[in-house]
Amino acid sequence: MEDKEFFQKAVNSKYAKKIGKHTRLKESLIKIFFAVNGTMALIFIILIFVFLFKEGFKALDHIGLLDFLYLDRPDASGNIERVFQWYPTSEEPRYSLIPLLIGTFLTAFPATIISTLLGVGAGIYLSEVANPKFKEFLKPMIELFAGIPTVVLGFIMLVVGASFFNDILHPANRLNAFVASIGLSFVIIPIIASLTEDALHSIPNDLRMASYGLGATKWQTISKVILPAAFSGVSASILLGFGRAIGETMIVLMCAGNAANLTSNIFLSVRTMTATIAAEMGEVSQGSDHYYSLFFIGIVLFTITFFLNLIAEIIINKMRKKNTF
């Protein structure tokens, strides 16, 4: 209200009349410039969306929706065998996304669990335990860590990490889902830590004071008061981290071994959806079924991460409303 009155006064004042036509034009041009910038992001997203779905759904002209799940084919003795395999360039192409989905989740789930433990812990430390001066130093450090190019992390895991875990755990494959999920954790821990810290920080101090006033210790305050109060924010940070783990490409391409195994063994090589697109898109001939099926994987990937981000966004918005006392 006050703003409006002030604005009215300003418009009616004698200075306002001095503003020339020229300046008005400039003002409106600037306004348009920023409006275009603002909507640009939206337009690009819609264009990407349209392109992805246009190319991806062409796959369904030649490949049935069920073929993306399994293929029934006769084996050597003539029995019908149900296979879940990704062989897009074979004489008899098989496009099952099941091994790729399993690969994606077999790397993303463990990575999220590891990062939740360490990331939430780091977030609690930053927000509740660390002294403010040290925190001011540590938080930018953690955020800087998130900015390391993933190809560098992937390379480190490939050369150092894989050999290290090979020597102590003796896995069936040197490059496996476990090594990749450790690599992914490096990316997700900073995300979860930073967002958890934000969520905890937004909890009003009155809650802490009340808890201490009732004689609670620091740990009791954190575990019984602060964490429950910030539960939605923390879970949103985990969801965002999980979404990032699913969409991450370079680390899994380098460290997961890229064998489209149908397995639940975390020490075997797996192949994720992102790595499949990255490895095969470069050389696939445009317009082939294989090409469109890669776009279809893109749609699946996009849908998963879209909904994860949407849920996280809804939770965060709810939390913001709740926390404005």
Partner 1 sequence: MLKLKNLQVLLVILLILPVVFIGCKKKEAGEEKTVISVKGSDTMVNLAQKWAEVYMQTHPNVSIQVTGGGSGTGVASLLNGTTDLANSSRELKESELETAKQKGVTPVVYNVALDGIAVIVHPDNKIDNLSVQQVSDIFAGKITNWKQLGGPDMVITLYGRENSSGTYEFFKDHVLGKDASGKQVDYSPATQVLQGTAALGEAVARDVKGIGYGGVGYFAHRKDVKILHIKKDDNSPAISPAENGVVNFQVIWNGDYSISRYLYCFTNGEAQGELKDYMDFIVSPEGQKLVETMEYIPLPPKG
Point out which residues bind partner 1 (CB under 8 A): 76, 85-92, 99, 163, 172-175, 253, 257-262, 268-269, 271, 279-280, 282-288
Cα 169 from Cα 6, distance rounded (Å):
70
Q: Least separation, in Å, of the C-beta of 93 and partner 1?
A: 10
Closer residue to partner 1, CB minimum distance, 288 or 305: 288
Q: Least separation, in Å, of the C-beta of 172 and partner 1?
A: 6
Closer residue to partner 1, CB minimum distance, 208 or 290: 290
Q: Least separation, in Å, of the C-beta of 111 and partner 1?
A: 20
Closer residue to partner 1, CB minimum distance, 140 or 287: 287
Closer residue to partner 1, CB minimum distance, 107 or 112: 107
Closer residue to partner 1, CB minimum distance, 208 or 271: 271
Choose among 162, 147, 309, 167: nearest CA to 241: 309
Quickly count: other Cβ atoms within 10 Å of residue 54's Cβ. Answer: 10
Q: Least separation, in Å, of the C-beta of 85 and partner 1?
A: 6
Q: Tokens 């418009």 — which residue?
A: 11
Cα 10 from Cα 54, distance rounded (Å):
52
Q: Least separation, in Å, of the C-beta of 74 and partner 1?
A: 9
**Cα 84 to Cα 74, 87, 114, 213, 243, distances in angstroms:** 14, 10, 29, 60, 25
Cα 86 from Cα 89, distance rounded (Å):
9
Quickly count: other Cβ atoms within 10 Å of residue 34's Cβ. Answer: 10
CA 254 from chain center: how many Å? Answer: 18
